Structure 1
Amino acid sequence: MASSEKCLGKGSSPPGPVPKGMIRLYSMRFCPFAQRTRLVLHAKGIKHDTINIDLKDKPDWFLMKNPLGLVPVLETPGGQVIYESPITCDYLEDVYPEKKLLPADPFEKAQQKMLLEHFSKATPYFYKIPMMSRKGEDTSTLEEELKEKLIKLNENLASKKTKYFGGDSITMIDYMMWPWFERMDTSGLKHCMDGAPELKNWTERMLEDPSIKAIMFDSETYKGFYKSYQEGKPDYDYGL
Protein backbone atom coordinates (compact mmCIF):
# COMPACT_ATOMS: atom_id res chain seq x y z
CA MET A 1 0.00 0.00 0.00
CA ALA A 2 1.84 3.06 -1.25
CA SER A 3 1.15 6.32 0.56
CA SER A 4 2.44 9.85 0.35
CA GLU A 5 2.37 10.57 4.09
CA LYS A 6 3.51 14.18 3.70
CA CYS A 7 0.80 16.43 2.36
CA LEU A 8 0.99 17.91 -1.12
CA GLY A 9 0.25 21.62 -1.51
CA LYS A 10 0.07 24.30 -4.18
CA GLY A 11 2.80 23.96 -6.79
CA SER A 12 3.25 20.22 -6.18
CA SER A 13 3.32 17.81 -9.10
CA PRO A 14 0.17 15.75 -9.56
CA PRO A 15 0.55 12.06 -8.69
CA GLY A 16 0.73 9.53 -11.53
CA PRO A 17 -2.22 7.41 -12.64
CA VAL A 18 -3.95 5.14 -10.15
CA PRO A 19 -2.38 1.65 -10.37
CA LYS A 20 -4.56 -1.10 -11.85
CA GLY A 21 -6.36 -3.19 -9.26
CA MET A 22 -6.27 -0.37 -6.72
CA ILE A 23 -8.20 2.73 -5.76
CA ARG A 24 -6.71 6.04 -4.63
CA LEU A 25 -7.76 8.04 -1.60
CA TYR A 26 -7.04 11.76 -1.34
CA SER A 27 -7.04 12.45 2.36
CA MET A 28 -5.67 14.50 5.24
CA ARG A 29 -4.22 12.58 8.16
CA PHE A 30 -6.28 14.30 10.86
CA CYS A 31 -9.58 14.84 8.99
CA PRO A 32 -12.46 12.94 10.67
CA PHE A 33 -14.46 12.90 7.43
CA ALA A 34 -11.58 11.30 5.51
CA GLN A 35 -11.09 8.89 8.42
CA ARG A 36 -14.53 7.45 7.69
CA THR A 37 -13.33 6.41 4.24
CA ARG A 38 -9.99 5.17 5.58
CA LEU A 39 -11.84 2.96 8.09
CA VAL A 40 -14.06 1.47 5.39
CA LEU A 41 -11.08 0.85 3.07
CA HIS A 42 -9.25 -0.90 5.92
CA ALA A 43 -12.25 -2.88 7.21
CA LYS A 44 -13.02 -4.17 3.71
CA GLY A 45 -9.36 -4.93 2.97
CA ILE A 46 -9.37 -2.82 -0.21
CA LYS A 47 -6.01 -2.25 -1.91
CA HIS A 48 -5.45 1.48 -2.13
CA ASP A 49 -2.87 4.22 -2.07
CA THR A 50 -3.25 7.47 -0.15
CA ILE A 51 -2.30 10.99 -1.18
CA ASN A 52 -2.48 13.54 1.63
CA ILE A 53 -3.50 17.08 0.72
CA ASP A 54 -2.55 20.43 2.28
CA LEU A 55 -6.06 21.77 2.87
CA LYS A 56 -4.79 25.28 3.64
CA ASP A 57 -2.86 25.57 0.36
CA LYS A 58 -4.50 23.13 -2.05
CA PRO A 59 -2.86 22.09 -5.31
CA ASP A 60 -4.64 23.24 -8.47
CA TRP A 61 -4.67 19.67 -9.79
CA PHE A 62 -6.60 18.58 -6.69
CA LEU A 63 -9.22 21.31 -7.17
CA MET A 64 -9.76 19.97 -10.69
CA LYS A 65 -10.71 16.62 -9.14
CA ASN A 66 -12.97 18.12 -6.46
CA PRO A 67 -13.91 21.78 -6.99
CA LEU A 68 -15.18 21.87 -3.37
CA GLY A 69 -11.58 21.36 -2.27
CA LEU A 70 -12.54 18.88 0.45
CA VAL A 71 -11.34 15.41 1.40
CA PRO A 72 -12.05 12.52 1.17
CA VAL A 73 -11.89 11.96 -2.58
CA LEU A 74 -11.65 8.57 -4.29
CA GLU A 75 -10.19 8.05 -7.75
CA THR A 76 -10.35 4.86 -9.80
CA PRO A 77 -7.74 3.62 -12.32
CA GLY A 78 -10.17 4.76 -15.04
CA GLY A 79 -10.11 8.34 -13.69
CA GLN A 80 -13.57 8.31 -12.10
CA VAL A 81 -13.75 10.65 -9.09
CA ILE A 82 -16.07 10.31 -6.07
CA TYR A 83 -16.22 12.71 -3.13
CA GLU A 84 -18.16 13.50 0.11
CA SER A 85 -17.55 11.00 2.90
CA PRO A 86 -20.94 9.17 3.01
CA ILE A 87 -20.93 8.91 -0.79
CA THR A 88 -17.36 7.51 -0.92
CA CYS A 89 -18.26 4.92 1.73
CA ASP A 90 -21.46 3.87 -0.08
CA TYR A 91 -19.45 3.61 -3.31
CA LEU A 92 -16.89 1.31 -1.66
CA GLU A 93 -19.73 -0.81 -0.26
CA ASP A 94 -21.24 -1.24 -3.74
CA VAL A 95 -18.01 -1.83 -5.66
CA TYR A 96 -16.33 -4.11 -3.10
CA PRO A 97 -19.16 -6.33 -1.85
CA GLU A 98 -16.93 -9.04 -0.31
CA LYS A 99 -17.30 -7.76 3.25
CA LYS A 100 -20.66 -6.06 3.72
CA LEU A 101 -20.85 -3.15 6.13
CA LEU A 102 -24.43 -2.08 5.34
CA PRO A 103 -27.43 -4.30 6.09
CA ALA A 104 -29.16 -5.96 3.12
CA ASP A 105 -32.62 -5.02 4.40
CA PRO A 106 -33.71 -1.70 2.81
CA PHE A 107 -35.44 -0.46 5.98
CA GLU A 108 -32.42 -1.22 8.20
CA LYS A 109 -30.20 0.51 5.65
CA ALA A 110 -32.52 3.54 5.70
CA GLN A 111 -32.42 3.54 9.52
CA GLN A 112 -28.62 3.82 9.43
CA LYS A 113 -28.82 6.75 7.02
CA MET A 114 -31.45 8.49 9.19
CA LEU A 115 -29.29 8.03 12.27
CA LEU A 116 -26.35 9.50 10.37
CA GLU A 117 -28.49 12.56 9.55
CA HIS A 118 -29.19 13.02 13.27
CA PHE A 119 -25.52 12.61 14.12
CA SER A 120 -24.49 15.16 11.48
CA LYS A 121 -26.33 17.79 13.57
CA ALA A 122 -23.97 17.02 16.47
CA THR A 123 -20.61 17.23 14.64
CA PRO A 124 -20.37 21.07 14.58
CA TYR A 125 -20.26 21.07 18.40
CA PHE A 126 -16.96 19.15 18.32
CA TYR A 127 -15.39 22.19 16.61
CA LYS A 128 -17.34 25.08 18.12
CA ILE A 129 -16.87 24.19 21.79
CA PRO A 130 -13.03 23.79 21.83
CA MET A 131 -12.64 26.91 19.66
CA MET A 132 -14.81 29.06 21.96
CA SER A 133 -13.22 27.55 25.04
CA ARG A 134 -9.77 28.52 23.79
CA LYS A 135 -10.96 32.12 23.43
CA GLY A 136 -12.24 32.06 27.02
CA GLU A 137 -15.89 32.21 25.92
CA ASP A 138 -18.72 30.52 27.84
CA THR A 139 -19.53 27.14 26.29
CA SER A 140 -21.95 25.79 28.93
CA THR A 141 -25.07 26.13 26.72
CA LEU A 142 -23.40 24.40 23.78
CA GLU A 143 -22.10 21.63 26.06
CA GLU A 144 -25.64 21.04 27.37
CA GLU A 145 -26.94 20.84 23.80
CA LEU A 146 -24.24 18.32 22.87
CA LYS A 147 -25.03 16.26 26.00
CA GLU A 148 -28.69 16.13 24.94
CA LYS A 149 -27.73 14.90 21.47
CA LEU A 150 -25.45 12.22 22.93
CA ILE A 151 -28.18 11.10 25.37
CA LYS A 152 -30.51 10.68 22.34
CA LEU A 153 -27.83 8.51 20.69
CA ASN A 154 -27.50 6.57 23.93
CA GLU A 155 -31.28 5.94 23.96
CA ASN A 156 -31.12 4.74 20.35
CA LEU A 157 -28.41 2.23 21.23
CA ALA A 158 -30.08 1.16 24.50
CA SER A 159 -33.38 0.48 22.70
CA LYS A 160 -31.60 -1.92 20.33
CA LYS A 161 -30.01 -3.97 23.16
CA THR A 162 -27.06 -4.69 20.84
CA LYS A 163 -23.33 -4.01 21.16
CA TYR A 164 -23.23 -1.68 18.15
CA PHE A 165 -25.66 0.61 16.35
CA GLY A 166 -26.41 -1.93 13.60
CA GLY A 167 -26.35 -5.14 15.64
CA ASP A 168 -23.75 -7.24 17.47
CA SER A 169 -20.96 -6.53 15.00
CA ILE A 170 -19.62 -3.24 13.64
CA THR A 171 -21.43 -1.89 10.59
CA MET A 172 -21.18 1.25 8.48
CA ILE A 173 -22.97 3.57 10.93
CA ASP A 174 -20.44 2.82 13.70
CA TYR A 175 -17.52 3.75 11.44
CA MET A 176 -19.33 6.88 10.23
CA MET A 177 -19.73 8.23 13.76
CA TRP A 178 -16.52 6.97 15.34
CA PRO A 179 -13.95 9.65 14.29
CA TRP A 180 -15.56 12.32 16.51
CA PHE A 181 -15.62 10.02 19.55
CA GLU A 182 -11.95 9.19 18.98
CA ARG A 183 -11.20 12.91 19.37
CA MET A 184 -13.33 13.51 22.47
CA ASP A 185 -10.40 13.34 24.85
CA THR A 186 -8.42 15.84 22.78
CA SER A 187 -11.43 18.15 22.47
CA GLY A 188 -12.00 18.10 26.24
CA LEU A 189 -15.56 16.86 25.66
CA LYS A 190 -15.47 13.42 27.30
CA HIS A 191 -17.65 14.68 30.17
CA CYS A 192 -20.45 15.25 27.66
CA MET A 193 -20.97 11.46 27.67
CA ASP A 194 -21.59 11.34 31.43
CA GLY A 195 -25.29 10.66 31.01
CA ALA A 196 -24.76 8.09 28.26
CA PRO A 197 -23.49 4.79 29.75
CA GLU A 198 -24.30 2.58 26.73
CA LEU A 199 -22.52 5.05 24.46
CA LYS A 200 -19.47 4.93 26.74
CA ASN A 201 -19.48 1.11 26.54
CA TRP A 202 -19.77 1.37 22.76
CA THR A 203 -16.64 3.57 22.60
CA GLU A 204 -14.72 0.99 24.66
CA ARG A 205 -15.78 -1.79 22.27
CA MET A 206 -14.94 0.31 19.22
CA LEU A 207 -11.39 0.80 20.52
CA GLU A 208 -10.87 -2.97 20.23
CA ASP A 209 -11.65 -3.00 16.50
CA PRO A 210 -8.57 -3.89 14.37
CA SER A 211 -9.32 -1.23 11.71
CA ILE A 212 -9.71 1.52 14.31
CA LYS A 213 -6.51 0.42 16.09
CA ALA A 214 -4.62 0.35 12.80
CA ILE A 215 -5.27 3.96 11.79
CA MET A 216 -5.89 5.93 14.98
CA PHE A 217 -3.48 8.46 16.49
CA ASP A 218 -2.61 8.73 20.16
CA SER A 219 -4.03 11.70 22.05
CA GLU A 220 -0.64 13.47 22.22
CA THR A 221 -0.41 13.52 18.40
CA TYR A 222 -3.98 14.80 18.17
CA LYS A 223 -3.25 17.48 20.75
CA GLY A 224 -0.19 18.63 18.82
CA PHE A 225 -2.10 18.87 15.57
CA TYR A 226 -5.17 20.59 17.06
CA LYS A 227 -2.99 23.14 18.84
CA SER A 228 -1.49 24.12 15.45
CA TYR A 229 -5.01 24.08 13.90
CA GLN A 230 -6.46 26.38 16.58
CA GLU A 231 -3.55 28.77 16.16
CA GLY A 232 -4.50 29.09 12.48
CA LYS A 233 -1.38 27.31 11.20
CA PRO A 234 -2.41 23.67 10.86
CA ASP A 235 0.56 21.31 10.71
CA TYR A 236 -0.87 18.53 8.56
CA ASP A 237 2.47 16.68 8.73
CA TYR A 238 2.59 16.80 12.55
CA GLY A 239 4.39 13.78 14.00
CA LEU A 240 5.97 12.62 10.74
Structure 2
Amino acid sequence: MSTEKCFAKGSAAPAPVPKDHIRLYSMRFCPFAHRARLVLNAKGIKHDTININLKDKPDWFLEKNPLGLVPTLETPAGEVIYESPITCEYLDEVYPEKKLLPSSPFGKAQQKMMLEHFSKVTPYFYKIPTGRKNGEDVSGLEAELQQKFAKLNEELVNKKTKFFGDDSITMIDYMMWPWFERLEIFELKQCLDSTPELKQWTERMVEDPAVKATTHSLDTYKAFYKSYVDGKPNYDLGL
Protein backbone atom coordinates (compact mmCIF):
# COMPACT_ATOMS: atom_id res chain seq x y z
CA MET A 1 0.00 0.00 0.00
CA SER A 2 1.45 3.35 -0.99
CA THR A 3 -0.27 6.60 -0.25
CA GLU A 4 0.70 9.70 -2.14
CA LYS A 5 -1.44 12.38 -0.46
CA CYS A 6 -0.16 13.47 2.91
CA PHE A 7 -1.73 12.62 6.26
CA ALA A 8 -2.49 15.62 8.48
CA LYS A 9 -3.74 16.14 12.05
CA GLY A 10 -7.09 14.43 12.54
CA SER A 11 -6.43 11.74 9.92
CA ALA A 12 -6.93 8.09 10.85
CA ALA A 13 -3.76 6.11 11.50
CA PRO A 14 -2.74 3.80 8.66
CA ALA A 15 -3.04 0.00 8.93
CA PRO A 16 -0.12 -1.86 10.55
CA VAL A 17 3.00 -2.39 8.43
CA PRO A 18 2.60 -5.50 6.21
CA LYS A 19 4.69 -8.50 7.24
CA ASP A 20 7.28 -8.50 4.43
CA HIS A 21 7.54 -4.71 4.08
CA ILE A 22 9.07 -1.75 5.81
CA ARG A 23 7.24 1.58 6.02
CA LEU A 24 8.70 4.96 5.21
CA TYR A 25 7.11 8.09 6.68
CA SER A 26 8.14 10.80 4.27
CA MET A 27 7.34 14.11 2.62
CA ARG A 28 7.59 14.20 -1.15
CA PHE A 29 9.86 17.27 -1.34
CA CYS A 30 12.03 16.80 1.76
CA PRO A 31 15.71 16.29 0.83
CA PHE A 32 16.37 14.31 4.04
CA ALA A 33 13.50 11.90 3.30
CA HIS A 34 14.74 11.81 -0.31
CA ARG A 35 17.88 10.07 0.99
CA ALA A 36 15.84 7.16 2.35
CA ARG A 37 13.72 6.97 -0.82
CA LEU A 38 16.91 6.71 -2.91
CA VAL A 39 18.27 3.87 -0.76
CA LEU A 40 14.95 1.98 -0.74
CA ASN A 41 14.79 2.25 -4.53
CA ALA A 42 18.46 1.43 -5.15
CA LYS A 43 18.23 -1.71 -3.02
CA GLY A 44 14.81 -2.78 -4.35
CA ILE A 45 13.34 -3.02 -0.83
CA LYS A 46 9.61 -3.74 -0.54
CA HIS A 47 8.15 -0.77 1.25
CA ASP A 48 5.13 1.43 1.52
CA THR A 49 5.23 5.19 1.90
CA ILE A 50 3.08 7.38 4.12
CA ASN A 51 3.52 11.08 3.42
CA ILE A 52 3.16 13.43 6.38
CA ASN A 53 1.93 17.03 6.46
CA LEU A 54 4.91 18.54 8.29
CA LYS A 55 3.05 21.72 9.21
CA ASP A 56 0.09 19.88 10.73
CA LYS A 57 1.36 16.47 11.86
CA PRO A 58 -1.06 13.70 12.86
CA ASP A 59 -1.04 12.79 16.57
CA TRP A 60 -0.51 9.11 15.74
CA PHE A 61 2.70 10.03 13.89
CA LEU A 62 4.01 12.06 16.84
CA GLU A 63 3.35 9.04 19.07
CA LYS A 64 5.67 6.99 16.83
CA ASN A 65 8.30 9.71 16.56
CA PRO A 66 7.86 12.52 19.13
CA LEU A 67 10.35 14.68 17.16
CA GLY A 68 8.01 14.51 14.16
CA LEU A 69 10.90 14.06 11.72
CA VAL A 70 10.95 12.52 8.28
CA PRO A 71 12.32 10.16 7.19
CA THR A 72 11.07 7.73 9.83
CA LEU A 73 11.04 3.98 9.26
CA GLU A 74 8.68 1.52 10.92
CA THR A 75 9.08 -2.25 10.83
CA PRO A 76 6.25 -4.82 11.03
CA ALA A 77 7.36 -5.38 14.67
CA GLY A 78 6.61 -1.70 15.39
CA GLU A 79 10.30 -0.69 15.68
CA VAL A 80 10.83 2.96 14.73
CA ILE A 81 14.06 4.40 13.29
CA TYR A 82 14.67 8.04 12.32
CA GLU A 83 17.38 10.57 11.29
CA SER A 84 18.28 10.19 7.61
CA PRO A 85 21.86 8.80 7.89
CA ILE A 86 20.69 6.32 10.55
CA THR A 87 17.66 5.15 8.53
CA CYS A 88 19.86 4.63 5.45
CA GLU A 89 22.56 2.71 7.33
CA TYR A 90 19.84 0.58 8.97
CA LEU A 91 18.37 -0.29 5.55
CA ASP A 92 21.81 -1.23 4.25
CA GLU A 93 22.44 -3.54 7.21
CA VAL A 94 19.03 -5.20 7.36
CA TYR A 95 18.74 -5.73 3.59
CA PRO A 96 22.22 -6.99 2.67
CA GLU A 97 21.57 -7.39 -1.06
CA LYS A 98 23.30 -4.66 -3.06
CA LYS A 99 25.36 -3.19 -0.24
CA LEU A 100 25.84 0.58 -0.47
CA LEU A 101 28.26 1.07 2.42
CA PRO A 102 31.84 -0.24 2.16
CA SER A 103 32.49 -3.49 4.05
CA SER A 104 35.72 -2.27 5.68
CA PRO A 105 35.47 -0.26 8.92
CA PHE A 106 37.87 2.33 7.44
CA GLY A 107 35.80 2.65 4.24
CA LYS A 108 32.66 3.21 6.34
CA ALA A 109 34.48 5.74 8.52
CA GLN A 110 35.64 7.63 5.40
CA GLN A 111 32.06 7.92 4.15
CA LYS A 112 30.85 9.09 7.56
CA MET A 113 33.60 11.72 7.76
CA MET A 114 32.65 12.94 4.31
CA LEU A 115 28.99 13.10 5.31
CA GLU A 116 29.96 15.12 8.37
CA HIS A 117 31.81 17.54 6.07
CA PHE A 118 28.82 17.70 3.71
CA SER A 119 26.47 18.53 6.61
CA LYS A 120 28.30 21.89 6.83
CA VAL A 121 27.47 22.53 3.16
CA THR A 122 23.68 22.02 3.24
CA PRO A 123 22.82 25.23 5.21
CA TYR A 124 24.02 27.30 2.22
CA PHE A 125 21.20 25.87 0.10
CA TYR A 126 18.77 27.66 2.42
CA LYS A 127 20.76 30.71 3.54
CA ILE A 128 21.46 31.96 0.01
CA PRO A 129 17.88 31.85 -1.38
CA THR A 130 16.52 33.31 1.89
CA GLY A 131 19.12 36.10 1.80
CA ARG A 132 18.26 36.88 -1.83
CA LYS A 133 14.54 36.99 -1.02
CA ASN A 134 15.30 39.49 1.78
CA GLY A 135 17.33 41.66 -0.60
CA GLU A 136 20.67 40.89 1.09
CA ASP A 137 24.03 40.69 -0.66
CA VAL A 138 24.69 36.93 -0.84
CA SER A 139 27.88 37.08 -2.94
CA GLY A 140 30.01 36.19 0.13
CA LEU A 141 27.86 33.13 0.86
CA GLU A 142 28.01 32.09 -2.80
CA ALA A 143 31.81 32.34 -2.72
CA GLU A 144 31.88 30.18 0.44
CA LEU A 145 29.65 27.57 -1.23
CA GLN A 146 31.97 27.53 -4.25
CA GLN A 147 34.90 26.85 -1.87
CA LYS A 148 32.99 23.92 -0.34
CA PHE A 149 32.29 22.59 -3.84
CA ALA A 150 35.99 22.99 -4.70
CA LYS A 151 36.84 20.71 -1.73
CA LEU A 152 34.38 18.08 -2.99
CA ASN A 153 35.81 18.45 -6.49
CA GLU A 154 39.31 17.90 -5.09
CA GLU A 155 38.09 14.71 -3.43
CA LEU A 156 37.00 13.32 -6.82
CA VAL A 157 40.25 14.44 -8.48
CA ASN A 158 42.36 12.75 -5.78
CA LYS A 159 40.33 9.54 -5.78
CA LYS A 160 40.25 9.38 -9.60
CA THR A 161 36.83 7.72 -9.36
CA LYS A 162 33.52 8.52 -11.08
CA PHE A 163 31.65 8.69 -7.76
CA PHE A 164 32.62 9.63 -4.21
CA GLY A 165 33.20 6.09 -2.97
CA ASP A 166 34.18 4.22 -6.10
CA ASP A 167 33.46 3.94 -9.82
CA SER A 168 29.90 2.92 -8.98
CA ILE A 169 27.40 4.68 -6.72
CA THR A 170 27.69 4.05 -2.98
CA MET A 171 25.88 5.42 0.07
CA ILE A 172 27.73 8.76 0.22
CA ASP A 173 26.54 9.68 -3.29
CA TYR A 174 22.92 9.13 -2.31
CA MET A 175 23.43 11.05 0.95
CA MET A 176 24.62 14.13 -0.97
CA TRP A 177 22.50 13.94 -4.09
CA PRO A 178 19.16 15.45 -2.89
CA TRP A 179 20.76 18.91 -2.49
CA PHE A 180 22.50 18.80 -5.86
CA GLU A 181 19.20 17.79 -7.45
CA ARG A 182 17.77 21.03 -6.07
CA LEU A 183 20.61 23.33 -7.22
CA GLU A 184 18.58 24.77 -10.08
CA ILE A 185 15.53 25.44 -7.90
CA PHE A 186 17.73 27.38 -5.48
CA GLU A 187 19.38 29.17 -8.46
CA LEU A 188 22.80 27.89 -7.43
CA LYS A 189 23.74 25.89 -10.53
CA GLN A 190 26.39 28.46 -11.48
CA CYS A 191 28.32 27.46 -8.33
CA LEU A 192 29.36 24.30 -10.20
CA ASP A 193 31.01 26.21 -13.04
CA SER A 194 34.51 26.07 -11.59
CA THR A 195 34.32 22.44 -10.42
CA PRO A 196 34.31 20.27 -13.59
CA GLU A 197 34.63 16.86 -11.88
CA LEU A 198 31.81 17.66 -9.49
CA LYS A 199 29.69 18.80 -12.42
CA GLN A 200 30.41 15.49 -14.22
CA TRP A 201 29.43 13.64 -11.06
CA THR A 202 26.01 15.38 -11.11
CA GLU A 203 25.59 14.40 -14.79
CA ARG A 204 26.33 10.76 -13.94
CA MET A 205 23.98 10.79 -10.95
CA VAL A 206 21.07 12.00 -13.09
CA GLU A 207 21.35 8.78 -15.13
CA ASP A 208 21.00 6.49 -12.09
CA PRO A 209 17.72 4.47 -12.00
CA ALA A 210 17.06 5.23 -8.29
CA VAL A 211 17.62 8.95 -8.92
CA LYS A 212 15.22 8.85 -11.90
CA ALA A 213 12.62 6.98 -9.82
CA THR A 214 12.59 9.51 -6.97
CA THR A 215 12.79 12.84 -8.78
CA HIS A 216 10.23 15.55 -9.55
CA SER A 217 10.08 17.83 -12.56
CA LEU A 218 11.78 21.20 -12.20
CA ASP A 219 8.40 22.96 -12.48
CA THR A 220 6.95 20.85 -9.65
CA TYR A 221 9.95 21.53 -7.43
CA LYS A 222 9.80 25.27 -8.16
CA ALA A 223 6.07 25.44 -7.46
CA PHE A 224 6.51 23.56 -4.17
CA TYR A 225 9.37 25.79 -2.99
CA LYS A 226 7.37 28.88 -3.89
CA SER A 227 4.48 27.60 -1.73
CA TYR A 228 6.99 26.78 1.03
CA VAL A 229 8.59 30.25 0.96
CA ASP A 230 5.12 31.81 1.01
CA GLY A 231 4.46 29.95 4.26
CA LYS A 232 1.77 27.68 2.78
CA PRO A 233 3.63 24.53 1.68
CA ASN A 234 1.56 22.48 -0.75
CA TYR A 235 2.75 18.98 0.17
CA ASP A 236 0.32 17.38 -2.32
CA LEU A 237 1.39 19.52 -5.24
CA GLY A 238 1.02 17.80 -8.59
CA LEU A 239 -1.12 14.91 -7.33
What is the TM-score normalised by the length of structure 2?
Answer: 0.99
1:238 aligned onto 2:237:
yes
Cα deviation 1:173-204 (Å, max 9, x = unaligned): 00000000000011000111122110000000
**AA matched with 2:24:** L
Q: Residue 178 of structure 2 corresponds to which residue in structure 1? A: 179
Query: Which residue pairs with 1:52 in the alignment?
Result: 51
Q: Deviations 1:78-123 (Å, cap 9, x if unpaired)?
A: 0000000000001001100011001111111100000000000000
Q: How does 1:126-165 map to 2 (within 5 A)?
A: 126-165=125-164
| Counterpart residue number, 2:91 | 92
Amino acid at match of 2:139: S
CA distance, structure 2, for counterparts of residue 236 and residue 137 of structure 1: 28
Equivalent AA in structure 2 for residue 142 of structure 1: L
The list of structure 1 runs, each at least 4 consecutive aligned residues, that deviate by more than 2 angstroms after superposition, is: none
Q: Does 1:78 align with 2:77?
A: yes
Q: What are the equivalent positions in structure 2 for 1:1-240 lying under 5 Å apart?
A: 2-240=1-239
Cα distance in 2, alignment partners of residues 56 and 227 from structure 1? 16
- Cα deviation for residue 138 of structure 1 reads 1.2
Supply the RMSD in Å over aligned alpha carbons.
0.6
Q: Measure, in 2, the Cα distance between the counterparts of 1:144 and 1:190.
A: 13
> Match of 1:85, as an amino acid?
S
Quote how far apart the aligned CAs of 1:237 are: 0.5
Amino acid at match of 1:22: H
Looking at structure 1, the residues matched to 167 and 215 of structure 2 have their Cα atoms a distance apart, in angstroms, of 22
User: How far off is 1:222 after superposition?
Assistant: 0.3
Encode CA deviations 1:119-143: one digit per residue, 9 max, x unaligned.
0000011011111111221111111
Report how many residues are paired: 239
Deviations 1:26-48 (Å, cap 9, x if unpaired)?
Answer: 00000000000000000000000
How far the C-alpha of 1:205 sits from its partner, in A, is: 0.2
Task: Measure the CA separation in 1 of the matches of 2:133 and 2:216.
Answer: 22
- The structural deviation recorded for 1:66 is 1.0
Question: Sequence identity, in percent?
Answer: 72
C-alpha distance in structure 2 between counterparts of 1:183 and 1:198, whole Å: 18
Q: What is the TM-score of this pair, normalised by structure 1?
A: 0.98
Using the alignment, how far apart are the partners of 1:32 and 1:16 within structure 2? 26
What secondary structure is seen at the aligned counterpart in 2 of 1:7?
A: coil
